Structure 1
Amino acid sequence: MGERLLSVEDLVVEYRPKRFRAKPFRALGGVSVAVDAGQTLGLVGESGSGKTTLGRALLGLAPVTAGRITFAGEDISHAGRAQRRRLSRDLQVVFQDPYSSLNPAMEIGEILAEPLTVQGVSAQAARARIMELLDRVGLPQDAVHRLPREFSGGQRQRVAIARALALQPKLIVCDEPVSALDLTTQARVLDLLLQVQRDTGVAYLFISHDIDVVRHVSHDVAVMYRGEIVEHGPAQRVTVDPEHSYTRRLLLASPVADPDRQQERRAERARLRAQERGRAGVAV
Protein backbone atom coordinates (compact mmCIF):
# COMPACT_ATOMS: atom_id res chain seq x y z
CA MET A 1 0.00 0.00 0.00
CA GLY A 2 1.29 3.42 -0.95
CA GLU A 3 0.65 6.81 0.53
CA ARG A 4 -3.01 7.87 0.54
CA LEU A 5 -3.45 10.32 -2.36
CA LEU A 6 -7.21 10.74 -2.71
CA SER A 7 -9.87 10.29 -0.06
CA VAL A 8 -13.61 10.69 -0.69
CA GLU A 9 -15.74 10.56 2.44
CA ASP A 10 -19.56 10.35 2.51
CA LEU A 11 -19.84 12.34 -0.72
CA VAL A 12 -23.32 13.53 -1.66
CA VAL A 13 -24.07 15.19 -5.00
CA GLU A 14 -27.52 16.63 -5.64
CA TYR A 15 -28.82 18.56 -8.61
CA ARG A 16 -31.44 21.21 -7.99
CA PRO A 17 -34.31 21.08 -10.50
CA LYS A 18 -35.55 24.24 -12.16
CA ARG A 19 -39.17 23.55 -11.22
CA PHE A 20 -40.35 25.34 -8.09
CA ARG A 21 -40.51 23.11 -4.98
CA ALA A 22 -39.39 20.05 -6.93
CA LYS A 23 -37.19 17.68 -4.96
CA PRO A 24 -33.46 17.67 -5.83
CA PHE A 25 -32.10 14.68 -7.74
CA ARG A 26 -29.53 12.80 -5.68
CA ALA A 27 -26.85 11.46 -8.02
CA LEU A 28 -24.50 10.27 -5.25
CA GLY A 29 -25.62 9.24 -1.80
CA GLY A 30 -22.78 9.06 0.72
CA VAL A 31 -19.98 7.60 -1.41
CA SER A 32 -16.59 6.83 0.19
CA VAL A 33 -13.54 5.64 -1.79
CA ALA A 34 -9.76 6.11 -1.67
CA VAL A 35 -6.83 5.94 -4.08
CA ASP A 36 -3.22 5.40 -3.01
CA ALA A 37 -0.24 6.91 -4.83
CA GLY A 38 0.76 4.84 -7.87
CA GLN A 39 -2.37 2.67 -7.66
CA THR A 40 -5.52 2.32 -9.77
CA LEU A 41 -9.04 2.28 -8.40
CA GLY A 42 -11.51 0.93 -10.93
CA LEU A 43 -14.99 2.41 -10.66
CA VAL A 44 -17.50 0.24 -12.49
CA GLY A 45 -21.25 0.37 -13.00
CA GLU A 46 -23.95 0.68 -15.62
CA SER A 47 -24.95 3.94 -17.24
CA GLY A 48 -26.67 6.14 -14.65
CA SER A 49 -24.98 4.48 -11.68
CA GLY A 50 -23.19 7.71 -10.68
CA LYS A 51 -19.62 6.75 -11.54
CA THR A 52 -19.04 9.64 -13.95
CA THR A 53 -20.65 12.04 -11.47
CA LEU A 54 -18.04 11.02 -8.91
CA GLY A 55 -15.25 11.76 -11.38
CA ARG A 56 -16.81 15.12 -12.23
CA ALA A 57 -17.08 16.01 -8.53
CA LEU A 58 -13.35 15.39 -8.11
CA LEU A 59 -12.67 17.73 -11.02
CA GLY A 60 -14.98 20.45 -9.71
CA LEU A 61 -17.53 19.86 -12.48
CA ALA A 62 -20.35 18.57 -10.25
CA PRO A 63 -21.71 20.24 -7.08
CA VAL A 64 -20.66 18.75 -3.74
CA THR A 65 -23.73 18.87 -1.50
CA ALA A 66 -22.16 17.13 1.49
CA GLY A 67 -19.12 15.08 2.39
CA ARG A 68 -15.45 15.72 1.79
CA ILE A 69 -12.87 15.25 -0.96
CA THR A 70 -9.22 15.32 0.13
CA PHE A 71 -6.43 15.28 -2.45
CA ALA A 72 -2.76 15.15 -1.44
CA GLY A 73 -3.76 16.25 2.07
CA GLU A 74 -5.78 19.24 0.82
CA ASP A 75 -9.56 19.66 1.08
CA ILE A 76 -10.80 20.28 -2.49
CA SER A 77 -14.52 19.72 -1.87
CA HIS A 78 -15.36 23.31 -2.79
CA ALA A 79 -12.15 24.45 -4.50
CA GLY A 80 -12.32 27.84 -6.19
CA ARG A 81 -10.93 28.81 -9.58
CA ALA A 82 -7.44 29.72 -8.32
CA GLN A 83 -7.17 26.50 -6.31
CA ARG A 84 -8.38 24.45 -9.29
CA ARG A 85 -5.77 26.05 -11.53
CA ARG A 86 -3.07 25.10 -9.05
CA LEU A 87 -4.52 21.59 -8.71
CA SER A 88 -4.32 21.03 -12.47
CA ARG A 89 -0.62 20.29 -12.09
CA ASP A 90 -1.40 17.19 -10.06
CA LEU A 91 -4.96 16.27 -11.10
CA GLN A 92 -5.78 15.62 -14.76
CA VAL A 93 -8.43 13.86 -16.84
CA VAL A 94 -8.74 11.72 -19.98
CA PHE A 95 -12.26 11.87 -21.39
CA GLN A 96 -14.27 9.18 -23.15
CA ASP A 97 -14.44 10.51 -26.70
CA PRO A 98 -11.07 11.09 -28.40
CA TYR A 99 -12.87 12.82 -31.28
CA SER A 100 -14.50 15.61 -29.26
CA SER A 101 -11.91 16.02 -26.47
CA LEU A 102 -9.33 17.58 -28.83
CA ASN A 103 -9.74 20.97 -30.49
CA PRO A 104 -10.02 20.16 -34.24
CA ALA A 105 -8.57 23.55 -35.23
CA MET A 106 -5.35 23.18 -33.23
CA GLU A 107 -2.24 21.24 -34.22
CA ILE A 108 -1.13 18.49 -31.84
CA GLY A 109 1.86 20.54 -30.74
CA GLU A 110 -0.43 23.42 -29.77
CA ILE A 111 -2.77 21.07 -27.87
CA LEU A 112 0.12 19.64 -25.85
CA ALA A 113 1.70 23.05 -25.27
CA GLU A 114 -1.49 24.60 -23.88
CA PRO A 115 -1.36 23.19 -20.31
CA LEU A 116 2.37 23.91 -20.14
CA THR A 117 1.91 27.53 -21.25
CA VAL A 118 -0.89 28.08 -18.72
CA GLN A 119 1.49 27.00 -15.96
CA GLY A 120 4.19 29.41 -17.13
CA VAL A 121 6.56 26.92 -18.78
CA SER A 122 8.91 28.62 -21.28
CA ALA A 123 8.49 27.96 -25.01
CA GLN A 124 11.83 26.13 -25.22
CA ALA A 125 11.07 23.89 -22.22
CA ALA A 126 7.58 23.24 -23.60
CA ARG A 127 8.96 22.09 -26.96
CA ALA A 128 11.33 19.66 -25.22
CA ARG A 129 8.53 18.34 -23.02
CA ILE A 130 6.23 17.83 -26.02
CA MET A 131 8.86 15.68 -27.73
CA GLU A 132 9.18 13.59 -24.56
CA LEU A 133 5.41 13.15 -24.37
CA LEU A 134 5.03 12.06 -27.98
CA ASP A 135 7.78 9.50 -27.48
CA ARG A 136 6.18 8.21 -24.29
CA VAL A 137 2.80 7.57 -25.94
CA GLY A 138 4.31 6.12 -29.11
CA LEU A 139 3.56 8.88 -31.61
CA PRO A 140 6.01 10.27 -34.21
CA GLN A 141 7.56 13.64 -33.50
CA ASP A 142 6.19 15.10 -36.74
CA ALA A 143 2.74 14.78 -35.13
CA VAL A 144 3.24 18.27 -33.66
CA HIS A 145 2.37 19.81 -37.04
CA ARG A 146 -0.68 17.64 -37.74
CA LEU A 147 -4.35 18.12 -36.88
CA PRO A 148 -6.45 15.68 -34.82
CA ARG A 149 -8.48 14.63 -37.89
CA GLU A 150 -5.32 13.13 -39.39
CA PHE A 151 -5.18 10.48 -36.65
CA SER A 152 -7.17 7.37 -35.83
CA GLY A 153 -9.29 7.11 -32.68
CA GLY A 154 -6.58 5.22 -30.82
CA GLN A 155 -3.94 7.76 -31.83
CA ARG A 156 -6.16 10.63 -30.71
CA GLN A 157 -6.60 9.00 -27.34
CA ARG A 158 -2.81 8.73 -27.11
CA VAL A 159 -2.67 12.49 -27.69
CA ALA A 160 -5.25 12.96 -24.92
CA ILE A 161 -3.12 10.82 -22.59
CA ALA A 162 -0.01 12.82 -23.52
CA ARG A 163 -1.86 16.05 -22.72
CA ALA A 164 -2.92 14.67 -19.34
CA LEU A 165 0.70 13.71 -18.60
CA ALA A 166 2.16 17.08 -19.65
CA LEU A 167 2.37 18.50 -16.13
CA GLN A 168 3.45 15.20 -14.52
CA PRO A 169 0.25 14.77 -12.45
CA LYS A 170 -0.16 12.56 -9.41
CA LEU A 171 -3.66 11.36 -10.40
CA ILE A 172 -5.50 11.04 -13.71
CA VAL A 173 -9.27 10.55 -13.83
CA CYS A 174 -9.88 8.23 -16.79
CA ASP A 175 -13.56 8.54 -17.71
CA GLU A 176 -14.43 5.61 -20.03
CA PRO A 177 -11.15 6.21 -21.92
CA VAL A 178 -11.47 3.18 -24.24
CA SER A 179 -15.22 2.71 -24.67
CA ALA A 180 -15.27 4.58 -28.02
CA LEU A 181 -12.47 2.40 -29.46
CA ASP A 182 -12.48 -1.01 -31.16
CA LEU A 183 -11.27 -4.00 -29.15
CA THR A 184 -7.76 -4.15 -30.61
CA THR A 185 -7.21 -0.43 -30.05
CA GLN A 186 -8.67 -0.73 -26.54
CA ALA A 187 -6.01 -3.28 -25.62
CA ARG A 188 -3.21 -1.06 -26.93
CA VAL A 189 -4.42 2.01 -25.04
CA LEU A 190 -4.86 0.00 -21.82
CA ASP A 191 -1.34 -1.39 -22.16
CA LEU A 192 -0.10 2.16 -22.69
CA LEU A 193 -1.81 3.35 -19.49
CA LEU A 194 -0.24 0.48 -17.55
CA GLN A 195 3.22 1.23 -18.96
CA VAL A 196 2.87 4.93 -18.14
CA GLN A 197 1.94 4.03 -14.56
CA ARG A 198 4.97 1.76 -14.21
CA ASP A 199 7.27 4.45 -15.62
CA THR A 200 5.87 7.51 -13.79
CA GLY A 201 4.06 6.23 -10.69
CA VAL A 202 0.87 8.11 -11.63
CA ALA A 203 -2.37 6.96 -9.98
CA TYR A 204 -5.63 6.42 -11.87
CA LEU A 205 -9.30 6.63 -11.04
CA PHE A 206 -10.47 4.43 -13.91
CA ILE A 207 -14.18 4.75 -14.69
CA SER A 208 -15.84 2.14 -16.90
CA HIS A 209 -19.03 0.16 -17.47
CA ASP A 210 -16.96 -2.86 -18.58
CA ILE A 211 -15.87 -5.09 -15.70
CA ASP A 212 -13.39 -6.95 -17.92
CA VAL A 213 -11.59 -3.70 -18.77
CA VAL A 214 -11.54 -2.69 -15.10
CA ARG A 215 -10.04 -6.05 -14.12
CA HIS A 216 -7.19 -5.54 -16.58
CA VAL A 217 -5.98 -2.21 -15.16
CA SER A 218 -7.10 -1.95 -11.52
CA HIS A 219 -5.59 -2.79 -8.16
CA ASP A 220 -8.89 -2.24 -6.33
CA VAL A 221 -12.45 -2.03 -7.66
CA ALA A 222 -15.52 -0.18 -6.39
CA VAL A 223 -18.90 -1.13 -7.87
CA MET A 224 -21.53 1.60 -8.10
CA TYR A 225 -25.29 1.12 -8.28
CA ARG A 226 -27.85 3.91 -8.07
CA GLY A 227 -25.40 6.40 -6.63
CA GLU A 228 -23.93 4.13 -3.96
CA ILE A 229 -20.95 1.77 -3.58
CA VAL A 230 -22.35 -1.76 -3.29
CA GLU A 231 -19.05 -3.66 -3.36
CA HIS A 232 -15.41 -2.67 -2.88
CA GLY A 233 -12.24 -4.72 -2.64
CA PRO A 234 -9.20 -6.14 -4.46
CA ALA A 235 -9.74 -6.32 -8.22
CA GLN A 236 -9.12 -10.05 -8.48
CA ARG A 237 -11.80 -10.89 -5.92
CA VAL A 238 -14.44 -8.37 -6.98
CA THR A 239 -14.16 -9.10 -10.72
CA VAL A 240 -13.80 -12.88 -10.49
CA ASP A 241 -15.71 -13.95 -7.36
CA PRO A 242 -18.05 -11.06 -6.48
CA GLU A 243 -20.28 -11.08 -3.42
CA HIS A 244 -23.04 -8.66 -4.48
CA SER A 245 -25.72 -9.77 -6.95
CA TYR A 246 -25.36 -6.57 -8.98
CA THR A 247 -21.62 -7.19 -9.45
CA ARG A 248 -22.38 -10.76 -10.52
CA ARG A 249 -24.85 -9.36 -13.04
CA LEU A 250 -22.17 -7.03 -14.45
CA LEU A 251 -19.82 -9.99 -14.75
CA LEU A 252 -22.46 -12.02 -16.59
CA ALA A 253 -22.98 -9.13 -19.03
CA SER A 254 -19.50 -9.65 -20.49
CA PRO A 255 -19.76 -11.57 -23.80
CA VAL A 256 -18.21 -15.03 -24.28
CA ALA A 257 -17.44 -16.89 -27.51
CA ASP A 258 -19.52 -20.02 -26.72
CA PRO A 259 -23.20 -19.42 -27.78
CA ASP A 260 -24.58 -21.98 -25.31
CA ARG A 261 -22.63 -20.50 -22.40
CA GLN A 262 -23.66 -17.02 -23.48
CA GLN A 263 -27.32 -18.06 -23.37
CA GLU A 264 -26.83 -19.51 -19.88
CA ARG A 265 -25.21 -16.27 -18.72
CA ARG A 266 -28.13 -14.23 -20.08
CA ALA A 267 -30.61 -16.44 -18.24
CA GLU A 268 -28.65 -16.14 -14.98
CA ARG A 269 -28.41 -12.38 -15.42
CA ALA A 270 -32.18 -12.15 -15.91
CA ARG A 271 -32.72 -14.24 -12.76
CA LEU A 272 -30.49 -11.94 -10.69
CA ARG A 273 -32.26 -8.86 -12.06
CA ALA A 274 -35.63 -10.35 -11.09
CA GLN A 275 -34.33 -11.05 -7.58
CA GLU A 276 -33.14 -7.45 -7.21
CA ARG A 277 -36.52 -6.14 -8.35
CA GLY A 278 -38.26 -8.46 -5.90
CA ARG A 279 -36.14 -7.20 -3.00
CA ALA A 280 -36.79 -3.60 -4.04
CA GLY A 281 -40.53 -4.30 -4.07
CA VAL A 282 -40.38 -5.78 -0.57
CA ALA A 283 -38.39 -2.78 0.66
CA VAL A 284 -41.04 -0.42 -0.68
Structure 2
Amino acid sequence: MTSPLLAISDLVTEYPARRRRQKPFRVLHGVSLDVAPGETVGLVGESGSGKTTLGRAVLGLAPVTSGTVHFDGEDISHLSVRERRRVANRVQVIFQDPYTSLNPALTIGDTLAEPLLVQGGERTAVHRRIAELLDRVQLPHDAAARLPREFSGGQRQRVAIARALALEPRLIVCDEPVSALDLPTQARILDLLLEIQETTGVAYLFVSHDLAVVRHISHRVAVMYRGRLVEVGDAEQVTSEPQDPYTRRLLMASPVPDPSRQRRRREERRLLAE
Protein backbone atom coordinates (compact mmCIF):
# COMPACT_ATOMS: atom_id res chain seq x y z
CA MET A 1 0.00 0.00 0.00
CA THR A 2 1.35 3.44 -0.96
CA SER A 3 2.20 5.71 1.96
CA PRO A 4 0.20 8.95 2.00
CA LEU A 5 1.90 12.05 0.67
CA LEU A 6 0.00 14.21 3.17
CA ALA A 7 -1.12 12.80 6.51
CA ILE A 8 -3.12 14.99 8.90
CA SER A 9 -3.71 13.39 12.30
CA ASP A 10 -5.98 14.63 15.13
CA LEU A 11 -5.43 18.23 14.07
CA VAL A 12 -6.69 20.92 16.42
CA THR A 13 -6.50 24.62 15.56
CA GLU A 14 -7.33 27.31 18.12
CA TYR A 15 -7.11 31.07 18.07
CA PRO A 16 -6.67 33.21 21.20
CA ALA A 17 -9.80 34.71 22.71
CA ARG A 18 -10.34 38.43 22.25
CA ARG A 19 -11.16 38.90 25.92
CA ARG A 20 -9.01 37.82 28.82
CA ARG A 21 -11.29 35.29 30.53
CA GLN A 22 -12.75 33.72 27.43
CA LYS A 23 -11.60 30.33 26.19
CA PRO A 24 -9.60 30.12 22.95
CA PHE A 25 -11.75 29.80 19.83
CA ARG A 26 -11.41 26.27 18.45
CA VAL A 27 -11.83 26.02 14.67
CA LEU A 28 -10.70 22.44 14.03
CA HIS A 29 -11.60 19.59 16.37
CA GLY A 30 -9.25 16.65 15.92
CA VAL A 31 -9.34 16.34 12.11
CA SER A 32 -7.60 13.39 10.43
CA LEU A 33 -7.23 13.16 6.66
CA ASP A 34 -4.68 11.90 4.13
CA VAL A 35 -3.87 12.52 0.47
CA ALA A 36 -2.04 9.93 -1.62
CA PRO A 37 0.53 10.81 -4.31
CA GLY A 38 -1.26 11.92 -7.46
CA GLU A 39 -4.66 11.95 -5.75
CA THR A 40 -7.24 14.73 -5.48
CA VAL A 41 -9.13 14.95 -2.22
CA GLY A 42 -12.00 17.42 -2.30
CA LEU A 43 -12.61 19.17 1.02
CA VAL A 44 -16.13 20.57 1.04
CA GLY A 45 -18.32 22.44 3.49
CA GLU A 46 -20.23 25.64 4.04
CA SER A 47 -18.61 28.95 5.00
CA GLY A 48 -17.29 28.66 8.56
CA SER A 49 -16.95 24.87 8.45
CA GLY A 50 -13.17 25.01 8.89
CA LYS A 51 -12.20 23.74 5.46
CA THR A 52 -10.07 26.77 4.56
CA THR A 53 -8.41 26.70 7.98
CA LEU A 54 -7.39 23.08 7.37
CA GLY A 55 -5.77 24.03 4.07
CA ARG A 56 -4.02 26.97 5.74
CA ALA A 57 -2.70 24.71 8.51
CA VAL A 58 -1.11 22.48 5.86
CA LEU A 59 0.56 25.58 4.39
CA GLY A 60 1.75 26.85 7.77
CA LEU A 61 -0.64 29.83 7.66
CA ALA A 62 -2.86 28.65 10.54
CA PRO A 63 -1.68 27.41 13.94
CA VAL A 64 -1.45 23.73 14.84
CA THR A 65 -2.51 23.66 18.48
CA SER A 66 -2.23 19.87 18.72
CA GLY A 67 -2.05 16.92 16.38
CA THR A 68 0.33 16.64 13.42
CA VAL A 69 0.70 17.39 9.74
CA HIS A 70 3.14 15.09 7.95
CA PHE A 71 4.22 15.71 4.38
CA ASP A 72 6.27 13.10 2.52
CA GLY A 73 7.10 11.48 5.87
CA GLU A 74 8.25 14.74 7.52
CA ASP A 75 6.43 16.45 10.38
CA ILE A 76 5.76 20.00 9.11
CA SER A 77 3.38 21.00 11.90
CA HIS A 78 5.63 23.60 13.51
CA LEU A 79 8.26 24.61 10.98
CA SER A 80 10.09 27.94 11.27
CA VAL A 81 9.84 30.48 8.45
CA ARG A 82 13.20 29.34 7.09
CA GLU A 83 12.23 25.67 7.24
CA ARG A 84 8.89 26.45 5.59
CA ARG A 85 10.74 27.96 2.61
CA ARG A 86 12.55 24.65 2.20
CA VAL A 87 9.21 22.84 1.95
CA ALA A 88 7.70 25.46 -0.38
CA ASN A 89 9.10 23.88 -3.53
CA ARG A 90 7.08 20.73 -2.74
CA VAL A 91 3.85 22.26 -1.36
CA GLN A 92 2.21 25.16 -3.22
CA VAL A 93 -1.15 26.95 -3.19
CA ILE A 94 -3.70 28.42 -5.60
CA PHE A 95 -5.82 31.06 -3.90
CA GLN A 96 -9.47 31.87 -4.53
CA ASP A 97 -9.33 35.34 -6.04
CA PRO A 98 -7.19 35.77 -9.19
CA TYR A 99 -7.63 39.53 -8.92
CA THR A 100 -5.81 39.85 -5.58
CA SER A 101 -3.44 36.88 -5.64
CA LEU A 102 -1.19 38.51 -8.28
CA ASN A 103 0.94 41.62 -7.72
CA PRO A 104 -0.57 44.25 -10.06
CA ALA A 105 2.81 46.00 -10.43
CA LEU A 106 4.68 42.93 -11.71
CA THR A 107 4.53 41.56 -15.23
CA ILE A 108 3.45 37.94 -15.57
CA GLY A 109 7.04 37.03 -16.40
CA ASP A 110 8.31 38.64 -13.20
CA THR A 111 5.60 36.90 -11.18
CA LEU A 112 6.60 33.49 -12.55
CA ALA A 113 10.32 34.22 -12.25
CA GLU A 114 10.19 35.21 -8.59
CA PRO A 115 9.98 31.72 -6.99
CA LEU A 116 12.49 30.33 -9.47
CA LEU A 117 15.05 33.05 -8.73
CA VAL A 118 14.56 32.67 -4.97
CA GLN A 119 15.51 29.00 -5.39
CA GLY A 120 18.72 30.05 -7.16
CA GLY A 121 17.66 29.59 -10.78
CA GLU A 122 19.92 30.94 -13.53
CA ARG A 123 18.33 33.62 -15.74
CA THR A 124 18.44 31.67 -19.02
CA ALA A 125 16.94 28.58 -17.38
CA VAL A 126 14.31 30.73 -15.67
CA HIS A 127 13.19 32.26 -18.98
CA ARG A 128 12.97 28.81 -20.53
CA ARG A 129 10.92 27.56 -17.57
CA ILE A 130 8.53 30.53 -17.84
CA ALA A 131 7.87 29.67 -21.51
CA GLU A 132 7.16 26.05 -20.48
CA LEU A 133 4.76 27.18 -17.75
CA LEU A 134 2.82 29.48 -20.10
CA ASP A 135 2.49 26.59 -22.54
CA ARG A 136 1.30 24.30 -19.74
CA VAL A 137 -1.54 26.65 -18.75
CA GLN A 138 -2.37 27.48 -22.39
CA LEU A 139 -1.33 31.15 -22.40
CA PRO A 140 0.69 32.79 -25.23
CA HIS A 141 4.40 33.49 -24.69
CA ASP A 142 3.87 37.25 -25.02
CA ALA A 143 1.82 37.08 -21.81
CA ALA A 144 5.12 37.25 -19.91
CA ALA A 145 5.54 40.92 -20.82
CA ARG A 146 2.02 41.95 -19.80
CA LEU A 147 0.47 43.02 -16.49
CA PRO A 148 -2.32 41.17 -14.64
CA ARG A 149 -4.88 43.89 -15.41
CA GLU A 150 -4.62 43.00 -19.11
CA PHE A 151 -6.13 39.56 -18.51
CA SER A 152 -9.56 38.16 -17.71
CA GLY A 153 -10.30 36.41 -14.42
CA GLY A 154 -9.86 32.97 -15.96
CA GLN A 155 -6.55 33.96 -17.54
CA ARG A 156 -5.31 35.36 -14.24
CA GLN A 157 -6.16 32.10 -12.54
CA ARG A 158 -4.13 30.31 -15.22
CA VAL A 159 -1.20 32.55 -14.26
CA ALA A 160 -1.74 31.63 -10.60
CA ILE A 161 -1.71 27.95 -11.56
CA ALA A 162 1.51 28.45 -13.53
CA ARG A 163 3.09 30.14 -10.51
CA ALA A 164 2.07 27.21 -8.29
CA LEU A 165 3.62 24.77 -10.79
CA ALA A 166 6.88 26.70 -11.17
CA LEU A 167 8.84 24.68 -8.59
CA GLU A 168 7.32 21.33 -9.62
CA PRO A 169 5.48 20.68 -6.34
CA ARG A 170 4.14 17.31 -5.27
CA LEU A 171 1.05 18.83 -3.60
CA ILE A 172 -1.03 21.91 -4.37
CA VAL A 173 -3.62 23.24 -1.93
CA CYS A 174 -6.40 24.68 -4.09
CA ASP A 175 -8.39 27.15 -1.97
CA GLU A 176 -11.72 27.71 -3.80
CA PRO A 177 -9.78 28.28 -7.06
CA VAL A 178 -12.85 28.53 -9.32
CA SER A 179 -15.50 30.10 -7.08
CA ALA A 180 -14.80 33.64 -8.36
CA LEU A 181 -15.22 32.56 -12.02
CA ASP A 182 -18.27 32.14 -14.24
CA LEU A 183 -19.47 28.61 -14.97
CA PRO A 184 -17.89 28.10 -18.43
CA THR A 185 -14.55 29.41 -17.14
CA GLN A 186 -14.84 27.18 -14.06
CA ALA A 187 -15.18 24.12 -16.30
CA ARG A 188 -12.13 25.08 -18.38
CA ILE A 189 -9.98 25.66 -15.29
CA LEU A 190 -11.07 22.35 -13.74
CA ASP A 191 -10.24 20.52 -16.98
CA LEU A 192 -6.84 22.25 -17.02
CA LEU A 193 -6.12 21.09 -13.45
CA LEU A 194 -7.08 17.53 -14.41
CA GLU A 195 -4.81 17.64 -17.45
CA ILE A 196 -1.91 18.96 -15.35
CA GLN A 197 -2.41 16.17 -12.82
CA GLU A 198 -2.37 13.53 -15.56
CA THR A 199 0.93 14.82 -16.98
CA THR A 200 2.76 15.72 -13.75
CA GLY A 201 1.32 13.42 -11.08
CA VAL A 202 0.75 16.33 -8.69
CA ALA A 203 -1.70 15.80 -5.82
CA TYR A 204 -4.43 18.30 -4.92
CA LEU A 205 -6.17 19.16 -1.67
CA PHE A 206 -9.12 20.90 -3.30
CA VAL A 207 -11.12 23.16 -0.98
CA SER A 208 -14.62 24.13 -2.14
CA HIS A 209 -18.16 24.80 -0.96
CA ASP A 210 -19.61 23.22 -4.12
CA LEU A 211 -20.22 19.47 -4.23
CA ALA A 212 -20.66 19.55 -8.01
CA VAL A 213 -17.19 21.07 -8.43
CA VAL A 214 -15.44 18.57 -6.15
CA ARG A 215 -17.28 15.69 -7.82
CA HIS A 216 -15.85 16.77 -11.18
CA ILE A 217 -12.23 16.84 -10.04
CA SER A 218 -11.86 14.62 -6.96
CA HIS A 219 -11.01 10.97 -6.37
CA ARG A 220 -12.25 11.18 -2.78
CA VAL A 221 -14.36 13.76 -0.95
CA ALA A 222 -14.17 14.81 2.70
CA VAL A 223 -17.09 16.81 4.13
CA MET A 224 -16.53 19.25 6.99
CA TYR A 225 -19.10 20.61 9.42
CA ARG A 226 -18.27 22.88 12.34
CA GLY A 227 -14.61 21.93 12.36
CA ARG A 228 -15.10 18.17 12.10
CA LEU A 229 -15.11 15.67 9.26
CA VAL A 230 -18.57 14.10 9.02
CA GLU A 231 -18.08 11.98 5.90
CA VAL A 232 -15.13 10.78 3.82
CA GLY A 233 -15.35 8.47 0.85
CA ASP A 234 -15.25 7.89 -2.89
CA ALA A 235 -16.27 11.03 -4.77
CA GLU A 236 -19.04 9.31 -6.73
CA GLN A 237 -20.59 7.82 -3.62
CA VAL A 238 -20.35 10.90 -1.39
CA THR A 239 -21.73 13.26 -4.03
CA SER A 240 -24.58 11.03 -5.24
CA GLU A 241 -25.57 8.88 -2.25
CA PRO A 242 -24.25 10.65 0.86
CA GLN A 243 -24.72 8.96 4.21
CA ASP A 244 -24.47 11.93 6.59
CA PRO A 245 -27.50 14.27 6.93
CA TYR A 246 -25.30 17.35 6.58
CA THR A 247 -23.83 16.06 3.30
CA ARG A 248 -27.35 15.37 2.07
CA ARG A 249 -28.30 18.98 2.86
CA LEU A 250 -25.26 20.21 0.91
CA LEU A 251 -26.32 18.07 -2.05
CA MET A 252 -29.86 19.42 -1.90
CA ALA A 253 -28.45 22.96 -1.90
CA SER A 254 -26.57 22.42 -5.17
CA PRO A 255 -28.45 24.05 -8.07
CA VAL A 256 -29.63 21.93 -11.01
CA PRO A 257 -30.82 23.19 -14.43
CA ASP A 258 -34.19 21.42 -14.25
CA PRO A 259 -36.77 23.64 -12.42
CA SER A 260 -38.84 20.63 -11.33
CA ARG A 261 -35.83 18.84 -9.85
CA GLN A 262 -34.74 22.09 -8.21
CA ARG A 263 -38.14 22.44 -6.51
CA ARG A 264 -37.95 18.84 -5.27
CA ARG A 265 -34.47 19.47 -3.93
CA ARG A 266 -35.63 22.56 -2.03
CA GLU A 267 -38.46 20.55 -0.49
CA GLU A 268 -36.16 17.66 0.43
CA ARG A 269 -33.69 20.10 1.99
CA ARG A 270 -36.50 21.69 4.03
CA LEU A 271 -37.53 18.26 5.32
CA LEU A 272 -33.95 17.36 6.22
CA ALA A 273 -33.62 20.60 8.20
CA GLU A 274 -36.73 19.87 10.29
User: Which TM-score tier does this pair reach, normalised by the shorter chain?
Assistant: over 0.9
2:58 equivalent to 1:58: yes
Aligned to 2:244: 244
Structure 2 residues without counterparts, runs of 5 or longer: none
Aligned to 2:43: 43
Q: What is the rounded CA distance, in whole Å, between the counterparts of 1:51 and 1:103 in structure 2? A: 26
Instruction: Give the drift of 1:3.
Output: 3.9
The TM-score normalised by the length of structure 2 is: 0.99
Structure 1 residues without counterparts, runs of 5 or longer: 275-284
The TM-score normalised by the length of structure 1 is: 0.95
- What amino acid does structure 1 have at the position aligned with 2:267? A
Q: What is the rounded CA distance, in whole Å, between the counterparts of 1:2 and 1:122 in structure 2? A: 35
**Identical counterparts, % of pairs:** 68
RMSD: 0.8
Q: What is the rounded CA distance, in whole Å, between the counterparts of 2:26 and 2:148 in structure 1? A: 37
Q: What is the rounded CA distance, in whole Å, between the counterparts of 1:244 and 1:85 in structure 2? A: 39
Q: What is the rounded CA distance, in whole Å, between the counterparts of 2:182 and 2:197 in structure 1? A: 23
Q: What is the rounded CA distance, in whole Å, between the counterparts of 1:172 and 1:258 in structure 2? A: 35
Contact map agreement 1:2 1:38 (CA 8 A) in 2:
no
Instruction: Give the drift of 1:2.
Output: 4.4
Aligned to 1:67: 67
Q: What is the rounded CA distance, in whole Å, between the counterparts of 1:206 and 1:256 in structure 2? A: 22
Cα-to-partner distance string for 1:191-224 (whole Å, 9 max, x where unaligned): 0000000000000000000000000000011000
For 1:174-213, list aligned pairs within 5 A: 174-213=174-213
Aligned to 2:4: 4
Aligned to 2:218: 218
Change (3 A) 1:2 1:143: farther
The alignment covers a number of residue pairs equal to 274
Of stretches 10-19 and 94-103 in structure 1, the one that deviates more from structure 2 is 10-19
Contact map agreement 1:224 1:230 (CA 8 A) in 2:
yes
Cα-to-partner distance string for 1:87-141 (whole Å, 9 max, x where unaligned): 0000000000000000000000000000001111111111000000000000000
Q: Which runs of 4+ in 1 moved over 2 A?
A: none
Q: What is the rounded CA distance, in whole Å, between the counterparts of 1:19 and 1:121 in structure 2? A: 48
Aligned to 1:122: 122
Aligned to 2:266: 266
Q: What is the rounded CA distance, in whole Å, between the counterparts of 1:87 and 1:271 in structure 2? A: 47
